[in-house]
Structure formats: C-alpha cells, structure tokens
Chain A
C-alpha cells in the first residue's frame, strides 16, 4: 500500500458565498481533473466550460451542508466527461472509426517527465481519474468516494493499483 502525502491543505474550505467565488477557487481543480480524464487540453477546456455552464444553472441547488463546492463541481465535471465519452463512443461506433484511434496529446500535462506522460497514457481513464482526484486535486478518500459513487476502501484499492501500474510503466520505460 502506498503512503499518500498530501501537500495541499485539506482544511475544510469555507463554503463560497457566490458562484463566482466558487468558480474562481476551483477552476484549476475542475480543469485538471478533466485534463487527466481526457488527456486533451482543448477538450478539457471545452468540458470545463460546459461544466461551469451547467453548475451556474444549478447553483441554487448547491447545499454546502451536503458537501463542498469543489466536490459538487467535480461531480458535475465527471457527469459532463462521461456524457462526452458516451457520445464519443456512439459516434465512433457509427463511423466505425476506420480502426484509426484518434491521436491524443502525448504531453497533455505540462511539467511532467516524458516517461510519466507516457505511462499515464497507458492507464485507463478510470485509473487516471482516481489519480487526479486523490493526488492532483487532493480530494480526501471520502470526497473521492462520493464523487465516484464507490466506498472509500474501493477508492484506496483503485488508487493503489493505479499507482502500482504507473510505477511499473515508468520503470519499464526507464529500462528500455
């Protein structure tokens, strides 16, 4: 089991009083999450915009007692991303994709080593998702579990497997 040290403060954020405040505070988290999910900066950009459009429309339903604004926004981002994946999957099936997978950015996250970028690309979207939530965005186990709709134990297991896989990929890449 990997020991996860979170460097970002996990002190409960004060609930934002306005949508603008929430958007300003959590835009990077939403974008980062979507970037890890899609491995495409442009797409992540579009989906982040769609996410905040949707969040703005439903801001009146946000209840700080039920969860943080960040978790709420990430939940919307996840739904938006899954909807996009679903429509994309249908589109690919319709077009039969001509066996040509669409090229995705090799270095979708700036500042990462090429080996880590390559290793991340081999992970599934679900594995990258849990890495993004737990490590990049630094949601805690309970918040991540709520976003993914699984138990905190399952989150730990999924994270551990993703990190192990990532570690192996990076090591194999280094050996080549």
Chain B
C-alpha cells in the first residue's frame, strides 16, 4: 500500500461524531452565551500591551503639554544674575538722612528703560556710589555708548577716572566716572539710556557727621590758637612759659591744618559721586532673554516629561528584576510543559 492509498483510505474513513455527542454540543450551543465581562476581555495581553504602551506614552506627553501650558502663565523664577526687569538697587545708609532716602531707593529698584536711582540729600555731605551695568546690542553700539558716557560725564562737570574697553566676538567696557553729586541722578538717567539696564546698585554713605565733627574741631582749634596767641602777646611772660605756649600754639596750628585738609577731602568726596559703569554687548552679557509663553510652556512640559521618565525608570528599576524573574519562570514553565507534551505524545 502506497502513501497515496493510505491517505485516500484515511480520508475516506473520516470519523464523524455520533448523534449523542452532536446533541450534547447543540445543547451547549443553545445556552445563553456569556456576555463579555469587560470590553478588554477579547484583548490578549500582547494586544493590550501594543495598545496600552503607546496610549500611556501619549497620555504622558499630553499631561506634560497641558501642565506646561497651564504653568506657563506663572512668571518663571530664575536664579542667576539680575535681569533687565529686575535690576537690583541697594542703598546702604549710615545716617538718618540716608535712611530716610532708602524708601525712595527701593521705589526706584525696578529699572526699566531708565535708572531711577535715589537722589542725594541736598545740603548734606554724602558719599554716593553707583554701579550700573548696561547691555548694548553689539560692538558698534558699545563704542558709541562708551563715547556717549564719557561725553555725558564731561557735560555734567565730571571727569573720567579710568576706562577699560575691549572687543572681540563680544565686547565690554568698564569705566569709573566721577560726577558732581548734585547731578548724579541726571547722570544715571542719561547713562541708563545707553542701552538696556542689566543691573544697578546705589550706595549712599552719609558723611555729614564727619564734616560736622571736623568743623567743630576746627572751631575749637581756632579758638585755642587765638587764646594762646593772646597769652603769648603778654609782655610779662617769662621766657620759659612763652616757649611752652608757642609750642602748644604751633601744635594747634598744625592740627588745624590737618583738620582743614581732612574736611576738604571729605567735602571733595561728598561733592563728587563715583559711578562704576559697565557696558557689555548682549552676547557677552550673560543675560537670558525673557522666555516667551511658548518657551515657558515647552520648558515646563519637558520638565514634567523628565519627571515622568524618572518615575518610569524608577518603577522599571524596582519592578524590572521581578518582571524578569516572572518571565524566566514563565518561559521555564512553558519549556517544561512543552517537553512534557512531547513525552506524552511520543507514547502510542
């Protein structure tokens, strides 16, 4: 008998279920079919994973996007150097008068287009120091701004103590300027117009107490010298006393000279304010442009995505070994079962 004949015979004698079995199966089929317990019941785990994983990824991105958009309304807290809109103004006052000016200094803190620095108190000797950082567009603008700054200072009756100017791909200039204190506010306003204010700091130290002290000392010395001169003019003085009084008068005169010099120095210091002006091109200013709402939303979304990714990674790290063990156990069980099936099927 050939294979073809065997096949023909096997196919000709195809078994058929008897009527009892057929009735039994029909009875099963006529029962009320079970409803699907859940819409996911027909999905295999592989199909479920194929749908669930991309869905989870889309959901994560959507959450990040929505949260990013929602969070972009809030102003961003930025660390680092003060921005143009947040220029810092610090006033250090050492007297009542200076303290009285502090509120006005703070009021002028948010520098925008021009500096609104606190004004020196008229009639009081004060050491006025200001530091101003201005960003300009490029090197050409830097050159123009430097020239303008020097001109402004001279026009206001001030002078330039030092200038440092350097340009490469980016440029910067640093100037120490002395401006009559009475005109320092005007100077700061004009200098701040050279570009965009990046930072501003003003320090006021009151010197009036020092001036008053020196004035009082001068008066005392002058009176002492006058008294000593009157006694020395007395013809009845003996030679030894005269010599002693003359030595004391000379000492008083010397001290008076020192006091006058010191008072002149303090007055000079008070009459001119020192302005440290730094100019820098935008590229070299280290200034981060104020991000747009879209940028903020994007940044926020990326932050949230990063958090989601780290959570997912953490979960993977924690659950990964367990999942791996489960997979290995499942594979081993399946392999053993397959071998068992083969063994069972190898028997006649």
Which positions in A face B, CB cutoff 8 Å?
2-5, 7-8, 18-20, 23-24, 27-28, 30-32, 35-36, 44-45, 48-49, 52-53, 56-57, 59-61, 63, 82, 85-86, 89, 109-113, 115-116, 121-126, 129, 131, 135-136, 138, 149, 163-164, 166-167, 170-171, 174
Contacts and interface: CB of A to CB of B under 8 A. Distances in A.
B188 to A, nearest CB: 79
24 contacts: A18-B29, A20-B30, A23-B25, A23-B28, A27-B17, A27-B21, A27-B25, A32-B14, A45-B21, A49-B21, A56-B28, A60-B33, A60-B36, A60-B42, A63-B42, A82-B341, A110-B13, A125-B346, A131-B10, A136-B14, A163-B3, A166-B6, A170-B1, A170-B6
B330 to A, nearest CB: 15
A19 B29 contact: yes
Contacts of A56: 28-29, 31, 33-34
B17 A20 contact: no
A158 B48 CA distance: 35
Interface string B325-348: 000000000000010111011111
A44 B7 CA distance: 22
Interface string B1-16: 1111011011111111
Nearest to B338: A149
Interface residues on B, range: 35 or more
Q: Mostly helix, strand, loop or mixed at chain A's interface?
A: helix
Given A48-B21, A149-B338, A171-B1, A124 B348 contact: yes
A63 B26 CA distance: 21
Contacts of A20: 26, 29-30
Given A136-B11, A167-B3, A61 B42 contact: yes
B41 interface: yes
Q: Determine which residue in B28, B30, B34, B342 has the highest number of CB atoms from chain A within 10 A of its CB, and name it.
A: B28
Contacts of A19: 29, 33
Contacts, number: 136
B216 interface: no
Given A31-B17, A48-B25, A174-B1, A112 B10 contact: yes
Contacts of B13: 109-112
A176 B308 CA distance: 78
B24 interface: yes
Contacts of A24: 26, 29
Pairs A-B, 10 closest by C-beta atoms = A126-B345, A111-B13, A20-B29, A31-B17, A32-B15, A85-B344, A2-B3, A125-B345, A60-B36, A52-B25
Nearest to A22: B29
B346 A126 contact: yes
